[in-house]
Structures are given as structure tokens and as C-alpha cells.
Amino acid sequence: MSTTTFETIRVETDGPIATVSLHRPEKLNALNRTLILELTAAFTQLIDAGQSRVAILKGSGEKAFAAGADISEMANLTSVDARRFSEEGHRLGSVLEGAPFPVIAEVQGFALGGGCELALACDFIHAGVKAKFGQPEVNLGVIPGFGGTQRLARRVGIGMARELCFSGKIVDANEALRIGLVNAVHPQEELSAKVMELAKLIASKGPLAVAAAKRVLLKGEDQALPTANALEIEAFGGLFGSADQREGMSAFVEKRAAAFTGK
């Protein structure tokens, strides 16, 4: 296992699994500009290294994944500065979505405002029973700025997204599960183990296939069905002839575990 320490985040890699932790526990992992830029850099490095098959994104401490953007830093932003901050948050979301490996958000506490948006930019979310989610930006006279309006609507539907964004109300983990915001809710003490178990399961699968599935699901999400199906056809055909495809099918026939290499 190797650990890389930034100013506001920690990155641990253990074989094919990377764990990236927001590390501002004294600020409930609030998202300031440094943290946003460091997360972007860290995930870009993981992508470029080409060793990770799954990444887990989590918060340090017991209280928060990320309680929101750092209001003390945001309060005096000019309109130009605010636009730049929003663009940087959107760039991070694009990096997470574009990574060739799944990113799992492990949410143990508050995921509010920018924290909820950060979780939404991950492929899916697993939560502890104490987790809370919301887009309360209207309480501050603004709206979500890191993709929250758009990703939330795609995750829970436009009607529920409107309700959450217009009211600023906060929902608990079980309500988040009911509306489709999170994939699963676990007992608090089991959350990390359950997420790691899932990460290991995904990491054992063909990485080229997982990357293709992620790419096609993302690109096809807002396309007409015939166009989206064409993306699937192209990706499906493109995987044949790869070493992973040959290994996976040989292993199935031979009734053994496949040893994928990502080639």
C-alpha cells in the first residue's frame, strides 16, 4: 500500500483499489478551492498511472463526507471569481465521470451542497445510516454550482430535484435511498467494509469491460435510444479480440477464475 499526502486530501493505493479521502475534518471536509484542485490533480494522476480499477471517495472523520463548500472562502467572491470556482468544480466532476474506472462515494455523514454534488459526480453512492444529503444553497441566496441541478435531476428525476433545490431541505439516508439518490444504506460500523467489499468485486472483473460500460452508460444517458444503442454496439464489438475477452471466455469454459490484465 502507498499513501500520498496533499494539503487537503489523502490518497492510498492498494493494488487496483485507490482510496481518496477529503482531509479537512476540522472544517467538516468543506470544499475550498485548494481541495477542489487537489482532487482534480489526484484523480488525473490515478487515471494517467493506469493502475486503478476502482476508486473510493470518502471523508475523514465521522461527521461528514463534505458538509458543503467553504462559505468563509466563498462569501466575498466576485461574480467572476464565483464563475471560476464553479468551473473548477465542474472540471472535477468531469474528471470523475471520465475516469476509466468506477468511483464509489462512501458517505458516512453530511453530504450537503458541494458535498452532495461531489457524491453525485461519482458513479454511485453508498451511505451509512447517519448520512444526510441536500442542496441547501437557496438558504444562502445561490444555487448549486458544481453540477448539482443537472446530476441530481438525472439521478432522482426532475420533480424531486426541483423540490430539493427549491426548498433546500435535507434528507436522511433512508429517504435518499427511497428516492434513488443513493444505492445502498449500511450500518455505520459496516460502511467502509461493505464499500471495500464492493470495490474488490468490481476490481476482479475485466477492467476494459467495466471502463466500456461506464463510458457507454455516461454517453448514452441523454441520447435517443437508437443513438445510445449504437454506442453499445460499437463498444461491445470493440472488446472482442482483446486479451481480457479471450481470457474471460476461456476462464468461463474452463471453470476457473479469470486473470484479467486490462489488455
* Total length of the chain: 263
Whose CA is closest to 145, among 218, 36, 220? Answer: 36
C-alpha cell at 113: 451542497
- Ranges of beta strands (E only) in 90-219 are 103-107, 110-112, 124-128, 132-134, 170-172, 184-186
DSSP summary character for residue 143: -
* Active site residues per annotation: 117, 137
Q: Are 127 and 185 in contact, with CB atoms under 8 Å apart?
A: yes
Whose CA is closest to 168, among 122, 119, 112, 107? Answer: 112
**Beta-carbon count within 10 A of 118 CB:** 31
Alpha carbons 116 and 149: distance in angstroms, whole number? 11
